[in-house]
Amino acid sequence: MRILLTGGAGFIGSHIAQAALACGWDVTVLDSLEPAVHPRLSDIDPRLRFLKGDVGDRETVAVALDGADVVVHQSAKVGLGVDFSDAPDYVRNNDLATAVLLAGMAEAGIGALVLASSMVVYGEGAYTSVGGQLVRPGPRRASDLAAGIFDPRHPETGELLTPALLDEDARLDPRNVYAASKLAQEHLASAWARSTGGRAIALRYHNVYGPRMPKNTPYAGVASLFRSALSRGEAPRVFEDGGQRRSFIHVADVAAANISAVQALQAGNGRQFRAFNVGANEVHTVGDVARALSEAAGGPPPVVTGEFRLGDVRHITASSDRIKSELGWAPQRGFEDGMKEFALAPLRGESQVSNS
């Protein structure tokens, strides 16, 4: 099988590339090699067919697609952004580039796509009321956050809500530019599938961590920020009270989910467009991550700051039952072992980074 892997030199993409090579597949990687988060060209696995270029360029995409059976689309601008001035970059790199890729696939007659999506399309997570009813809250109140009340309230009664797992049928509610761009990618993929008769799987990654994460940048995930602080000898700084619940999933498990999705598309089973959560079996808090990394690295204990950012999500945790039952995937890396490995693993941008 021949796959085109966009963003295949990046954090998640490089792990997918290795997993695909282990399957015996021919892999073409298309990546722009953004200097802040990518290795040198000499670090790219020589078994890959590598093309340096922009997914938003039609001619480059046409060359990259030549001979491909399946496209695994990981290339994107990630993170929640610094401010709204980032919006054009997100739309250009995530949505326009995806449209160019899908148009190229339609012209080349390639009918199978795996899309990297994200938990951010849901907005705030699922909650239940005191009576056990499922509730989707609105944005948290600034006055509550300032008073140290971090859990969201019932939009009608004002009672504080209890977090629950959400599934793929939950209402989609993107609350920042990055989230809006990821949902737009899903809509584009669904429209492409209907128009061309192709089939697409969107994998909604939850909090991915592991070796080769980019080091400290304004767009990095929380695990990477904590890890970067520890590498500088500083204590991880935890916002709010550290009780934010997440589903932290190891990058090797995310790579395996992509392999399962490619195999499902090649088997020809399922719907034209299908979304799957990709999350861990267990729920942990942001504070849990900070403590686990500090202990494993022998660094200073975390500092819980009480600081907050308007628009941040309090709790979002996934049910991954659908991908387990339909694609036969399940995470293999436990939280404690994964965090111990991550605490000592090199990050992207550090001198010892490689694809090995």
CA 205 to chain centre: 4
Least Cα distance to 236 among 309, 310, 286 occurs for: 286
Q: What is the mean pLDDT of the chain?
A: 91
pLDDT at 349: 58
Three-state secondary structure along the chain?
CEEEEECCCCHHHHHHHHHHHHCCCEEEEEECCCCCCCCCHHHCCCCCEEEECCCCCHHHHHHHHCCCCEEEECCCCCCCCCCHHHHHHHHHHHHHHHHHHHHHHHHHCCCEEEEEEEHHHHCCCEEECCCCCEECCCCCCHHHHHCCCCCCECCCCCCECEEEEECCCCCCCCCCHHHHHHHHHHHHHHHHHHHHCCEEEEEEECEEECCCCECCCCCCCHHHHHHHHHHCCCCCEECCCCCCEECEEEHHHHHHHHHHHHHHHHHCCCCCEEEEEECCCCCEEHHHHHHHHHHHHCCCCCEECCCCCCCCCCCCEECCHHHHHHHCCCCCCCHHHHHHHHHHCCCECCCCCCCC
- Ramachandran angles phi, psi of 214, nearest 5°: -60, 145
pTM: 0.92
Higher-confidence residue of 310 and 20: namely 20
What is the average pLDDT across 273-293? Answer: 96
Report pLDDT digits (tens) over 195-205: 999 999 999 99
What is the percentage of the chain residues whose pLDDT exceeds 70?
92
pLDDT at 300: 97
Least Cα distance to 49 among 32, 30, 34, 23 occurs for: 30
Q: How far apart are CA 294 and CA 86, in angstroms?
A: 32
pLDDT at 268: 87
Report pLDDT digits (tens) over 73-97: 999 988 765 578 888 999 999 999 9
Please, which pLDDT band fits residue 297 given cuts at 50, 70 and 90?
A: very high
What is the percentage of the chain residues whose pLDDT exceeds 90?
76
Alpha carbon distances (Å) from 237 to 67, 289, 337: 48, 11, 22
